[in-house]
Amino acid sequence: MRSFTAIVERCPDTGLYVGYVPGFRGAHTQAATLDELHANLREVVQMLLEDGEPTPRFPPQYGN
């Protein structure tokens, strides 16, 4: 099974955990607990992989 790195933050306004996979368009979700967030991220990544591999998105190169 492939693995992806997710960025997780806690929203100070709602208290919800928000997670996303950098460079994987559409791979983001939120949840009340870290366990729920992990399960949600796994589900969304699995669904997105059914449509094909993510296309890496890199910031534009300056000066090239």
pLDDT in tens, 3-61: 889 999 999 999 999 999 998 888 999 999 999 999 999 999 999 898 877 666 555 55
Question: Which letter does DSSP use for residue 1 in this model?
Answer: -
| pLDDT given at position 1 | 67
Residue reference for tokens 């000066």: 63
| pLDDT given at position 23 | 84
Query: What is the three-class DSSP state of 24?
Result: coil
pTM of the model: 0.77
Q: What is the rounded distance in angstroms from the CA atom of residue 31 to the CA atom of residue 44?
A: 13
- Nearest alpha-carbon partner for 42 in 6, 16, 10, 18: 6
Q: Which carries the bigger pLDDT value, residue 60 or residue 1?
A: 1
Q: How many CB atoms lie within 10 A of CB 53?
A: 9
